[in-house]
Chain A
Amino acid sequence: MRRAIRTAFVWSLVSIAATATAWAHHSFAAAFDMNKPVTVQGTIVQVRLENPHSWFFLDVKDATGKIERWSFEAGTPSGMVRNGFKPGIIKKGVEVTIKGFHAKDPTQNVGMLRELVMSDGTVYGMFGSQQGPAAQ
Chain B
Amino acid sequence: MKPRLIGLLLVAAFTIALAWFAPSVRTQTRPGAQAESPSAPAEPKPQAEAGGPAPRMADGHPDLSGVWWGGSDIGAARGRGARGGGRGGARGGTPPPTFMSLYKPEAAAKAKTLGDKDDPTLRCVPTAFGTLNVSLWDVGAVGQIVATPKMIVMLTETYHGFRLIPTDGRPHRDDQPPAYRGDSVGRWDGDVFVVDTKNFTDNTWMSAEGRVSQHSDQLHIVERYRRVDANTLEIEATVEDPEVLTGPWTAPKQSLVLAPFDRILSLNCSGIETQALMDAAAKQTGK
Q: Which of B26, B274, B284 has the most CB of A within 10 A?
A: B274
B271 within 8 A of A: yes
Q: Which residues of B contact A126 (CB under 8 A)?
A: 21, 23-24, 75
Whether A77 and B267, one on each chain, are in contact in the complex, defined by CB atoms closer than 8 angstroms, is yes
Smallest beta-carbon distance A50→chain B, Å = 4
Q: Which residues of B contact A75 (CB under 8 A)?
A: 24, 74-75
Q: Which of B13, B17, B27, B283 has the most CB of A within 10 A?
A: B27
Q: Which residues of A contact B74 (CB under 8 A)?
A: 23, 75-76, 78-79, 127
Chain A's closest residue to B14 (CB) is A15
Smallest beta-carbon distance B189→chain A, Å = 32
Assembly CA distance A83 to B72 (angstroms): 10
Assembly CA distance A126 to B208 (angstroms): 20
Whether A16 and B121, one on each chain, are in contact in the complex, defined by CB atoms closer than 8 angstroms, is no
Which of B6, B18, B124, B270 sits near A15, CB closer than 8 Å? B18
Q: Which residues of B contact A106 (CB under 8 A)?
A: 284
Assembly CA distance A129 to B20 (angstroms): 14
Q: Give residues of chain B (107-148) contacting chain A, Cβ–Cβ below 8 Å.
A: 115-117, 119, 121-122, 124, 131, 139-142
Which of A13, A24, A27 sits near B17, CB closer than 8 Å? A13
Which of B10, B12, B73 sits near A79, CB closer than 8 Å? B73
B158 within 8 A of A: yes
Chain B: interface size category = 35 or more
Contact with A along B13-33 (1 / 0, CB 8 A): 110111011111011110000
Smallest beta-carbon distance B10→chain A, Å = 5
B76 within 8 A of A: yes
Given A19-B17, A103-B277, the answer on whether A81 and B265 have CB atoms closer than 8 Å is yes
Whether A52 and B20, one on each chain, are in contact in the complex, defined by CB atoms closer than 8 angstroms, is no
Whether B208 and A30, one on each chain, are in contact in the complex, defined by CB atoms closer than 8 angstroms, is no
Q: Which of B17, B24, B278, B281 has the most CB of A within 10 A?
A: B24
B49 within 8 A of A: no
Which of A22, A78, A134 sits near B37, CB closer than 8 Å? A134
Assembly CA distance A26 to B116 (angstroms): 7
Contact with B along A90-116 (1 / 0, CB 8 A): 000000000000011110101000110
Q: How many A-B contacts at CB < 8 Å in the complex?
A: 204
Q: Which of A23, A51, A129 has the most CB of B within 10 A?
A: A51
Chain B's closest residue to A123 (CB) is B23
Given A4-B1, A19-B18, A25-B139, the answer on whether A103 and B27 have CB atoms closer than 8 Å is no
Give the number of residues in A that approach B within 8 Å (Cβ atoms): 63
Contact with A along B43-87 (1 / 0, CB 8 A): 000000000000000000000000000001111100010000000
B159 within 8 A of A: yes
Assembly CA distance A81 to B34 (angstroms): 12
Q: Which residues of B contact A23 (CB under 8 A)?
A: 74-75, 80
Whether A133 and B38, one on each chain, are in contact in the complex, defined by CB atoms closer than 8 angstroms, is yes
Contact with A along B237-270 (1 / 0, CB 8 A): 0000000000000000000000000000101111
Whether A134 and B267, one on each chain, are in contact in the complex, defined by CB atoms closer than 8 angstroms, is no
A41 within 8 A of B: no
A80 within 8 A of B: yes
Given A26-B209, A48-B270, A103-B280, the answer on whether A128 and B17 have CB atoms closer than 8 Å is no
7 further interface pairs, Cβ-Cβ under 8 Å (given A7-B10, A15-B17, A51-B139): A11-B17, A25-B274, A49-B267, A77-B267, A78-B74, A82-B35, A128-B23
Listed A/B pairs (5) with beta-carbon separation below 8 Å: A31-B277, A53-B274, A103-B281, A105-B284, A127-B27
Binding site for B on A (CB under 8 A): 1, 4-5, 7-9, 11-13, 15-16, 19-27, 30-32, 48-53, 55, 71, 73, 75-84, 86, 103-106, 108, 110, 114-115, 124-130, 132-136
